[in-house]
Structure 1
Amino acid sequence: MAPFLSLSVIFLLLQFPFLSLSTNPEGNALHDLRSRLSDPNNVLQSWDPTLVNPCTWFHVTCNSNNHVIRLDLGNANVSGTLGPELGQLHHLQYLELYKNDLRGKIPKELGNLKTLISMDLYDNKFEGKIPKSFGKLKSLKFPAAKQQ
């Protein structure tokens, strides 16, 4: 019975490749972000959710422990919205999203990024107020968010 079960699992993974998405929470968070964005220049085409982690993706930098520490999509000509998934990048130090066409509210979950040193969100079309949760960002040295 065990060989049949193994073949069944392999068959399911081949039929439904989305079932084999990375179990890496950071990779999943970035893939969720990608699904929210329009990317006319294909700058995110290397973001393959089937890889073990996102450290080989363009515009993503990881530390020696394979944790995402930098997301650099500044001036990448992407558009869309940000979601709460970015708050799952617990080791993120640099968030560069300037000069795009990002809209909607800035997610309050960005306030969970305790190791964030720099956050550049300027020249987008965000609406609403800067979340109060940003007051928890004690490591933040270079905030750059221009409100419209």
Structure 2
Amino acid sequence: MEDCRVLFMLLLAFSVNVAANSEGDALYALRRNLHDPENVLQSWDPTLVNPCTWFHVTCDRDNRVTRLDLGNARLSGSLVPDLGRLTHLQYLELYKNNIVGRIPKELGNLKSLVSLDLYHNNLSGDIPASLGKLKSLRFLRLNGNKLTGRIPRELMNLSSLKIVDLSENDLCGTIPTSGSFSKFSEKSFENNPRLNGPELMGSVVYDLGCK
């Protein structure tokens, strides 16, 4: 019995280390893709097994990454698909930087995510429809970027959403008014010159000129 207990503890420690390594690899992939003039990522050392020792990274009791706080850090560069491997992440805070490029569709794999704050960057391209899989998401702030395309209707199914801010982009089409979007005011969508306003409840609007 004692041998079984020891074996179980060894297997548990191994699985935690594997998870930590995988998450550390994902975070280090992000570091390699970012320019960091203030050296806020200096502690992100890939030779350390556990990324929970890195600054701006918070973990739970099982050493799984739950929070990434890099807001207003003067970072530039782009996001990486590897972020989708942080499946226990609850808060992704990368606001007020100079991050460019697309929002990776792999962020839709972050099933524990509560808050996605990418506002005031220079992100472009569509809002990924895969974000509609984030059933725990309560705060979605993508304002102050250069995002284009339609607002994904998949987001209407996120019943936990409390705050949405998509203002100050270049979105087009109409504003959803069904599901979770029924409680958001037009202020959440203002300053999108090609956004035509709320759609009729229950209607499906196709705008072939919206790209």
The reply to whether TM is greater than 0.5 is yes
In the alignment, which residue of structure 2 is the partner of 1:104? 101
Give the TM-score taking structure 1 as reference length. Answer: 0.84
**Between the two proteins, what is the percent identity of the paired residues?**
66
1:64 aligns with 2:98: no
Match of 1:145 in 2: 142
Q: TM-score, normalised by structure 2?
A: 0.59
Cα displacement string for residues 62-94 of structure 1 (whole angstroms, at most 9, x for unaligned residues): 000000000010001000000100000010000
Q: Within 5 A, what are the aligned runs for 1:1-148?
A: 24-146=21-143, 147=147, 148=169
Q: Tell me the amino acid that sits aligned with residue 117 of structure 2.
A: D
Where 2:125 maps in the other structure, the secondary structure is: coil
CA contact (8 A) 2:20 2:51 kept: no
Deviation at 1:52, TM superposition (A): 1.1
Stretches of structure 2 lacking an aligned partner (at least 5 in a row): 1-18, 148-168, 170-211
Q: Report the aligned-residue RMSD.
A: 1.2
1: distance between equivalents of 2:85 and 2:138? 20
* Paired amino acid for 1:44: L
Give the Cα–Cα distance (whole angstroms) in 2 for the partners of residues 122 and 46 of structure 1.
Answer: 25
Q: Distance in 1 between matches of 2:98 and 2:73?
A: 9
Q: Which has the higher contact order (CA 8 A, sep 6+)?
A: 1
| 1:9 paired residue number | none
2:191 alignment counterpart? none
Q: Which amino acid aligns with 1:61?
A: T
Q: Distance in 2 between matches of 1:53 and 1:105?
A: 29
Q: Secondary structure at the match of 1:31?
A: helix
Runs (4+) off by over 3 Å: none
Residues paired across the two proteins, number: 127
Opposite residue 80 of structure 1, the aligned amino acid is G
* Structure with greater Cα Rg: 2
